[in-house]
Amino acid sequence: MATVEEGLKTQLRNIETSTGRSIAAWIALIHASGRTKHGEIVAWLKAEYGLSHGTANRLAITALNPTSAADPAAATGAAAPDSVDSLYAGTKASLRPIHLRVMSVVDGFGAPIEIAPKKGYLSLRRRTQFAMLKPAAKQVDLGLILPGEPVTPRLEDARTFNALFTHRVRLFSVDDVDEQVTGWLRTAWEHAE
């Protein structure tokens, strides 16, 4: 099984092959555009060059992280990954039981997962990413990839939260990790194999 770093290197090579433009040339083009925000770069690349969301997202992350072209492992968008301990330090310590409950649910699905620390959150992956856990001020935000799942008051649209996910669920207590959340997690987990 390929590591995240190997997968990222392959993704960057594939972008060069499919677009006919080097990563360095894409970065120069993005910088010349004057755009400095991730979302605006992604939207511009999709509209102006017809790139897929995944390709535009990776190019935006790479352009905004100056070390990522030289070191693809840094191109994950996490210049300084956070451990579970650092994510739940200080005022967020009371949220850690929610995190532990979600991890217990996912562990119960049977297949091993990869936990990839990012800046400010933890990514959960099988073959592909399926969820993330991010402590906020008063809750843990659970990002999920659930294509085709309708948005509800509880299963929110994640576009303004994190464009890599389709939905967000705000977990204010361990009790919020109920059958419904377990079902959404399982569905996202199953789609990621």
pLDDT in tens, 68-79: 444 444 443 333
In this structure, the answer to whether residues 56 and 132 fall within a common structural domain is no
Count of structural domains within the chain: 2
The CB density around residue 31, as the number of other CB atoms within 10 Å, is 13
Mean pLDDT confidence for 38-46 = 86
Lowest mean pLDDT segment, chosen from 11-25, 77-91, 116-130, 167-181:
77-91
102 within 8 A of 171, measured Cβ to Cβ? yes
Domain final residue, candidates 38, 53, 76: 76
Distance in angstroms (rounded) separating the CA atoms of residues 61 and 26: 12
pLDDT at 7: 66
Residue 10 has pLDDT above 80, yes or no: no
Give the end of a domain, one of 76, 97, 126.
76
Q: Cα separations (Å) of 78 from 11, 94, 157?
A: 17, 24, 23
Last residue of a domain, one of 25, 44, 76: 76
pLDDT above 70: percentage of residues in the chain: 88
pLDDT at 119: 80
Cβ–Cβ < 8 Å for 15, 26: yes
Domain span at residue 162? Answer: 84-191
Model pTM? Answer: 0.60
Same structural domain for residues 49 and 106? no
pLDDT at 121 over 60: yes
Residues 51-65: tens digit of each pLDDT: 888 788 788 888 877
Write out pLDDT tens, residues 132-142: 999 999 999 99
The partner residues of 140 in beta bridges, in order of sequence, read 135, 171
Phi then psi dihedrals of residue 171, to 5 deg:
-110, 110
107 pLDDT more than 70: yes
